[in-house]
Structure 1
Amino acid sequence: MMADDTELVSNTDQKMEDASAENPARADPPSSDDSGDSDSDSEDEAESNQQIVTLESELSANPYNYDAYVQYIKLLRKTANLEKLRQAREAMSAIFPLSPSLWLEWARDEASLAASENVPEIVMLYERGLSDYQSVSLWCDYLSFMLEFDPSVRGYPSEGISKMRSLFERAIPAAGFHVTEGNRIWEGYREFEQGVLATIDEADIEERNKQIQRIRSIFHRHLSVPLENLSSTLIAYKTWELEQGIDLDIGSDDLSKVSHQVAVANKKAQQMYSERAHLEENISKQDLSDTEKFQEFMNYIKFEKTSGDPTRVQAIYERAVAEYPVSSDLWIDYTVYLDKTLKVGKAITHAYSRATRSCPWTGDLWARYLLALERGSASEKEIYDVFEKSLQCTFSSFEEYLDLYLTRVDGLRRRMLSTRMLEALDYSLIRETFQQASDYLTPHMQNTDSLLHLHTYWANLELNIGKDLAGARGVWDSFLKKSGGMLAAWHAYIDMEVHLGHIKEARSIYRRCYTRKFDGTGSEDICKGWLRFEREHGDLEHFDLAVQKVMPRLEELQLMRLQQESTPVKPSAGLKEHSSQKRKAEQNVEEESLAKRQKRKSQKEVDLGGQSATVPATKNVKAENGKTADSDKEETEDAKPLKPKVYRDECTAFISNLSVKAQEEDIRKFFGDDGGVDSIRILHHKDTGKPRGLAYADFVDDEHLAAAIAKNRKMFFGKKISIARSNPKKGKKEFTRRGNVDGSGNSKDPSLISEKAKAPLGGETEGERKGNEVEVRGKNTFAVPRNVKPLGYTTPKPSADETPKSNDEFRNMFLKK
């Protein structure tokens, strides 16, 4: 298996030196042709060395350039610069998980130079490669290397046999279930056991029978796995049994002479392969795009999940992540499956370790990694190391950093309170984590609910676990120095003190914040909150003092609000210019209309011999300014400002979870090239100009829109995109409590228009004419007295026999006697 064309290319000068040492007669000066070849090789080598220098400069400036590393390693192999080659590979593997082909290339290069003393180093290379990806080719090379170069295995000693059997048993679940390539592992296992059988003395019948039974068992296990070419495996098994003296019909599938269990298992395996044959064919097609092939892998995974065999599900997941190692959605899907299926174990934490190396920019994977370590009872040092490594990564949002900090604190809290915790944890770890989170996130998430949640959590833990009231107050005081404009933060601080029964401290916080300016009605709310607090917790003296403080503040706020309402809103410069242009255009239209009416009037009546005749005005009759009416119309239209294009989203798809790498042409190609896409709008951040992962796609008709929506949750650039029909009207307020109101605050519902508005200018409303009480409307009615009935008052009902009074009787009741 080791024979391959991947050996290192030797240096030309070294070849010549070796040839001269072996045969002095060949040390003569080269011919003219040889000289030409040598010059050509020298030029190639000089060019390669120049490229190496350039790549070294690029990698020094940007060590995260994956393609530059691949090219650099390729050139170093070509020039046989072994020392630099090793250094480059180590540097790349420290940053990136190498692909199976890169690991295989590295291991084979070192194996070609193998000696007995450096076998453990090469074994470690193979183990590191298999730690990243479970590759069949890498496993086969590893097993072949051990058989050929490991002194403890060579010659089949008892310790070496045990070592190889253990290695083969590791390879089977890792690569032996690969439907199209898994046969290589099984066949290698049988060949090894056949070699062991050949070393057993023929006189030792008992030991030979044990070994024969071991080979038979491997055949039986192999025949029960749904793999490609099972019929060939069955023929090989029958041939082998024939050699052992058991007569089996090689030309048929008859297994009547073997155990019933083996026959049933083989039949089931063949059926399972038939069910998977088309799935294997789909993922092996050469003309598929990456997106299409990825979707075929996901279909395959979904199918294996329905079969309920975790080993087979893991096998197809491993094949998928080897094909798409940087798909965060795939890694999340894989690890979530392992969490549900395996619950705990090294397999889960190892999968998370590989996932975070492949997609270090995904905060969700790091947070799940920390939880998996906690479930597996990992040490504090191991969890801390992973947490610190996660903070060195670059995420797309600060919310992901916040989630990591909270996950870390959650774990510390749980383990600190757990009775099963073996190692003692100090509360200072929680305090340090909170402090680090606050220092890092406050400049970026100031005045946000997420940051408020962090500090609320911190203050609660200071009280409940740290037993430090001063520490909890310090958390709030520090937070309010930077986010004092958040009303919710003040309320949370006050609630903490009230909950602890510290009424005096809560009152002092109200005194600190009641004069602050908060958004919306927050300033009024904090004042009213203080009054409510004193009603519920204070005595009369404190209540009167609160009223004395709060009422002037409320009056001040009310006056400010009245001034804001009475001050007309000044239009912006752009709006002023637009209004000016509009007025000029309207004035031109009015002047044009007046000129037209005068001309039509003068031309309408023409006296012909004492009779009047009507002469139609033509379009080409010139106005007083010498221009035609049509030209006047054109100038009027040109005078109107150009309006921006309005998208009504009547046949539009809204796309989210879009990769920032996706361009307009990529989206158009994703929906198809049949002309259904009218336009595409990718949304960008206002500040940075970077894509937001959102887009709108306009379609020519509903049929194409429906086809686009059908692709919802499909993979696009390694992410499951969401596609839904855009419905902008959904988020608009159509009605308010008083009815349909336009942008100016005026009611559009005729039934809600006040009577005063309907009355003539300067006139009275119907209610005023009739002397009825008129409802006082508007916001500025706080000073208008109202007739309020006492609490518990009910209108007395007239008795049944009571006679209604007439108008005269009512009038007499109020007349003075």
Structure 2
Amino acid sequence: MEEILSLEGETNSIPPNSEQHQETIVNGNPPMPGTAQNPTSPGSDEPDSECDSGSDSDSEDEAEQNLQLQTLEAELSSNPCNYEAHVQYIRLLRKMGAIEKLRLAREAMSELFPLTPTMWQDWARDEASIGTGPEAVHAIEKLYQRGVLDYLSVSLWCEYLSFVLKSEEMVRDCSSTDISKARNLFECALTAAGLHVAEGIKIWEAYREFEQTIFQTIDPSEIQAKEKQIQRIRTIFHRQLSVPLVNMRSTLQAYSAWEMEQRNDLAVESSDLDGVPSHIASAYQRALEGYNARVHLEEQILRQDMSESEKLQQYMIYLEFERSSGDPARVQVLYERAIADFPISSDLWLDYTRYLDKTFKGANIVREVYCRATKNCPWVGELWVRYLLCLERGNASEKELASVFGKSLQCTFSTVDEYLDLFLTRVDGLRRRLLFTAEVEDVLNYSLIRETFQNASDYLLEHLKNMDGLVHLHGYWARLELSLGTDLVAARGVWESLLRICGSMLEAWQGYIAMEIELGHINEARSLYKRCYSKRFPGTGSEDICRSWLRFERQFGTLEDFDHAVQKVTPRLEELQLFRLQQESKSIVKRENPLKKDAREKRKPGSDIIKEQSPAKRQKDAAMYGKDKAQDSNLVGPNKVKEINAKVEKENSRIEQMKDAMTGKTKVYKDQCTAFISNINLKANCEDLRNFFSDVGGVHDIRILHDKFTGKSRGLAYVDFSDDAHLAVAVAKNKQMLLGKRLSIARSNPRKSRKDLSGHDSQMEHVDAANQIDATGGSALNASAETSKEASRAPQSASRRRGNVNIDITGKNTFAVPRNVKPLGWSANKPETEGDEKPKSNDEFRKMFIRK
């Protein structure tokens, strides 16, 4: 039986209680405390000097080990999650023989990480080499029990079974209690690894050998007991023959030989199923077919000449095959085999737990797998979330749930959304248990939910600022404050705390307002609209909140409330519309200018400079465009063409004016063919004037003068025409009515006023600053004709105050500078030009401003 229990291979383990094992611990590594230090034998012929040098070498090694030990202890103290540091620390302590520290180190590591089968075997062997007695045996059994739960390992199971059978004297004495204990342990091993295609046969054969050993101890006179034991062995054979395993034909031959020993008519060397009961033969045949279907997949995952990624891919193919066969036990065993080879593959753990959730729901086996998954891949937030849900399905206690949740918060996740999902899952579970669980634990109350929300807000605020996730969290919090906490003040406090930090988020205001409306608090909702309608929100949020206020007042407010909202919202919408137009014009300029810049940058030295389009080319293109336009007019009709041309002209004019306004260009109007119109209705806009002169035609541009402070129309306008013929027809419409007012139309002639005032014929220009856009979205810009008008009045005033002395006004802010002040850039050697006069003194300059 001992040979069968050691079928996993002599290289992997040494019987833990053997003298050879104890010598390995003592001599193969530095000895445990109290053991000899390999002294030189008394009969040795080696000189004493070599002994002294050996002692010095040992002292140096010990000092180096102590220094390394201190370094590892400092590292683990600062970073307990350093897996490699744990492994090195345990290896060093085992080498030094520090048993107490070694136990503590192993316990500390097992709390944070799962240990490999080899580490559990080393731990159990070390304890077995220094401990005897029932207490030590029980402690070692506990170590094996913990070890087989971390990863699937047939060798660890065989060593566990071997230790139990050797340490329990009652088993050898056929004590019914201990035999039952051993059988239960064998059944657990078969459940865990009996379906392992490549290595499961080791446990089956060990189980049969154990039962055969018991059969041999039964007294021959106890015929009934012997028959019962024979049937138990036969049952194990039948079960094994129905499972796809390696060496199935040799198992069948062994069964035939055993039955022959029991005086049954079965041939020992038979290679067929003659003489085997039909139900056993059919089960064996199905198992053999199953093995033949899996043998190729087994070969692929056991290959040593492939990469890790290729091997994992082969496991996934194998798993897909097992899932299609529909045997959950086989699927689970294969998942465990894959996990043992790829313990930190998060995708594999997620796939495994997802399958278990679907198949076993809230069973204890699923809970254990989640516990192991979070220890192997603690950085995956989804595993922790599903772990909490699994515990809730299994009706776990609040203490266990709180413990798992606390452990999850100590992990580091890759995204902040994982933390948010974890907090929300915790709150969901608390809410469900408070509302839908019949028996509520004493520790469960709403304060736990409030505390969880507060911790989430404090933890996530810096990472989720101005993000939808934070709004969702606070909205959920506020609703639970109302429904479970029944505290309106607290619910409002939740929203107010969010607005203090994320006041520029439209969603935060909308959520707060929606809560007040849902509760029927109309006045509170209205006050929130008044607080936020003038704020600037991203995108179209500012317009949306204004329109939302108007809809709110239509549904819930009085006429006075609606009028008040309109009064507040209308200027704000106009301001926003103006801002949008400015942004559009900026985008137009940006789209055009980079193209020109790129074209300049692409020119290489020495290449021909790309010149602008020549006038002849432009004239040719214009002729072609006019031809195409004429052809289109024949298709759609003259009225339609006229309408389209007017729209195109209007849009081009609007875009050009917006571009000039945003780029700061000053457009100059010479008024060579311009009509000056007064007594215009203050509500009239450029479109009204354009329609008024529609029968005249030839309108090139319209400039309505606006007050520079209020932005309202002054009732004055300039209308530019394409030629004098159209202008004459326009002036003929003098005294006609427009919007209830009789217009005064005259030809604008700045030449005359300038000639009369300055004494020479210089053309007076009207300048349009183009710094305001009509609120209606029209093409007209607020002209600074008022500036030109003031400029025309300024020389008259100056002439009256200066005694009709002609003074040239040039440059900016130079009219009030005394002539004897030397301007910047003046040079004494500058030649005098004709017309220069002698600079005036201060007294002369002062007299110029004294009225006569």
Asked if 2 retains the 8 angstrom alpha-carbon contact of 1:767 and 1:773, the reply is: no
- 1:217 partner amino acid: T
Asked if 1 retains the 8 angstrom alpha-carbon contact of 2:339 and 2:349, the reply is: yes
User: 1:87 maps to what in 2?
Assistant: 104
- 1:282 partner amino acid: Q
Whole-Å separation in 2 of the counterparts to 1:18 and 1:355: 44
Asked if 2 retains the 8 angstrom alpha-carbon contact of 1:335 and 1:352, the reply is: yes
User: 1:790 maps to what in 2?
Assistant: none
Whole-Å separation in 2 of the counterparts to 1:512 and 1:406: 30
Is 1:545–2:557 an aligned residue pair? no
User: 1:150 maps to what in 2?
Assistant: 168
Q: Of residues 182, 188, 191 in structure 2, which corresponds to 1:170?
A: 188
> Residue deviations 1:138-197, cap 9 Å, x none?
111111111112355452311101111111111101011111111111111112212222
Q: Of residues 346, 354, 357 in structure 2, which corresponds to 1:336?
A: 354
Q: Secondary structure at the match of 2:115?
A: coil
User: 1:205 maps to what in 2?
Assistant: 223
Is 1:442–2:461 an aligned residue pair? yes
Label 1:109 to 1:771 Cα distance change in 2 as closer, same or farther (>3 A).
closer
Label 1:9 to 1:60 Cα distance change in 2 as closer, same or farther (>3 A).
farther
Q: Scaled by the length of structure 2, what TM-score is found?
A: 0.66
Whole-Å separation in 1 of the counterparts to 2:455 and 2:33: 60
Q: Secondary structure at the match of 1:338?
A: helix
Whole-Å separation in 2 of the counterparts to 1:375 and 1:580: 64
Label 1:94 to 1:588 Cα distance change in 2 as closer, same or farther (>3 A).
same
Whole-Å separation in 1 of the counterparts to 2:131 and 2:172: 15
Whole-Å separation in 1 of the counterparts to 2:372 and 2:281: 39
Q: 1:560 Cα deviation (Å)?
A: 4.0
Which has the larger displacement, 289-298 or 416-425? 416-425
Label 1:164 to 1:470 Cα distance change in 2 as closer, same or farther (>3 A).
same
Whole-Å separation in 2 of the counterparts to 1:293 and 1:167: 32
Q: 1:125 Cα deviation (Å)?
A: 0.9
Whole-Å separation in 1 of the counterparts to 2:173 and 2:122: 28
- 2:354 partner amino acid: V
Is 1:382–2:400 an aligned residue pair? yes
Is 1:130–2:141 an aligned residue pair? no
Whole-Å separation in 1 of the counterparts to 2:685 and 2:119: 83
> Residue deviations 1:717-753, cap 9 Å, x none?
xxxxxxxxxxxxxxxxxxxxxxxxxxxxxxxxx9xxx
Label 1:490 to 1:107 Cα distance change in 2 as closer, same or farther (>3 A).
same
Q: Of residues 514, 517, 536 in structure 2, which corresponds to 1:495?
A: 514
- 2:179 partner amino acid: I
Asked if 2 retains the 8 angstrom alpha-carbon contact of 1:356 and 1:366, the reply is: yes
User: 2:697 maps to what in 1?
Assistant: none
Whole-Å separation in 2 of the counterparts to 1:372 and 1:552: 57
Q: 1:354 Cα deviation (Å)?
A: 0.4
User: 1:139 maps to what in 2?
Assistant: 157
User: 1:110 maps to what in 2?
Assistant: 127
User: 1:279 maps to what in 2?
Assistant: 297
Structure 1, unaligned runs of 5 or more: 594-749, 760-765, 788-817
- 2:112 partner amino acid: I
> Residue deviations 1:293-312, cap 9 Å, x none?
11111111111111111111
Q: 1:471 Cα deviation (Å)?
A: 2.3
Is 1:416–2:434 an aligned residue pair? yes
Asked if 2 retains the 8 angstrom alpha-carbon contact of 1:20 and 1:26, the reply is: no
Q: Of residues 316, 319, 327 in structure 2, which corresponds to 1:301?
A: 319
Whole-Å separation in 1 of the counterparts to 2:643 and 2:210: 112
Label 1:105 to 1:559 Cα distance change in 2 as closer, same or farther (>3 A).
same
- 2:504 partner amino acid: G
Whole-Å separation in 1 of the counterparts to 2:281 and 2:598: 92
Q: Secondary structure at the match of 1:112?
A: helix
Asked if 2 retains the 8 angstrom alpha-carbon contact of 1:69 and 1:88, the reply is: yes
Q: 1:335 Cα deviation (Å)?
A: 0.5
Which has the larger displacement, 399-408 or 461-470? 461-470
Whole-Å separation in 2 of the counterparts to 1:189 and 1:42: 50
Q: Of residues 526, 546, 549 in structure 2, which corresponds to 1:527?
A: 546
- 1:774 partner amino acid: A
Asked if 1 retains the 8 angstrom alpha-carbon contact of 2:256 and 2:266, the reply is: yes
Label 1:409 to 1:250 Cα distance change in 2 as closer, same or farther (>3 A).
same
Label 1:485 to 1:214 Cα distance change in 2 as closer, same or farther (>3 A).
same
- 1:428 partner amino acid: S
Asked if 1 retains the 8 angstrom alpha-carbon contact of 2:26 and 2:35, the reply is: no
User: 1:96 maps to what in 2?
Assistant: 113
Q: Secondary structure at the match of 2:372?
A: helix
Whole-Å separation in 2 of the counterparts to 1:434 and 1:169: 47
Asked if 1 retains the 8 angstrom alpha-carbon contact of 2:33 and 2:98, the reply is: no
Q: Of residues 3, 26, 32 in structure 1, which corresponds to 2:14?
A: 3
User: 1:486 maps to what in 2?
Assistant: 505
Whole-Å separation in 1 of the counterparts to 2:309 and 2:645: 73
Aligned length, in residue pairs: 621
Label 1:236 to 1:452 Cα distance change in 2 as closer, same or farther (>3 A).
same
Q: Secondary structure at the match of 1:450?
A: helix
Q: Secondary structure at the match of 2:454?
A: helix
Asked if 2 retains the 8 angstrom alpha-carbon contact of 1:154 and 1:160, the reply is: no
Whole-Å separation in 1 of the counterparts to 2:239 and 2:111: 39
> Residue deviations 1:278-319, cap 9 Å, x none?
111111111111111111111111111111111111111000
Whole-Å separation in 2 of the counterparts to 1:387 and 1:109: 35
Asked if 1 retains the 8 angstrom alpha-carbon contact of 2:384 and 2:408, the reply is: yes
Whole-Å separation in 1 of the counterparts to 2:25 and 2:551: 84
> Residue deviations 1:9-56, cap 9 Å, x none?
4467889975999x9966998677777777766666665555444444
Label 1:769 to 1:579 Cα distance change in 2 as closer, same or farther (>3 A).
closer
Q: Scaled by the length of structure 1, what TM-score is found?
A: 0.69
User: 1:811 maps to what in 2?
Assistant: none
Asked if 1 retains the 8 angstrom alpha-carbon contact of 2:33 and 2:97, the reply is: no
Asked if 2 retains the 8 angstrom alpha-carbon contact of 1:8 and 1:77, the reply is: no
Please give the residue correspondences for 1:63-82 in structure 2 after superposition, counting only pairs within 5 Å: 63-82=80-99
Q: Secondary structure at the match of 2:105?
A: helix
Q: Secondary structure at the match of 1:395?
A: coil
Please give the residue correspondences for 1:746-761 in structure 2 after superposition, counting only pairs within 5 Å: none
User: 2:363 maps to what in 1?
Assistant: 345
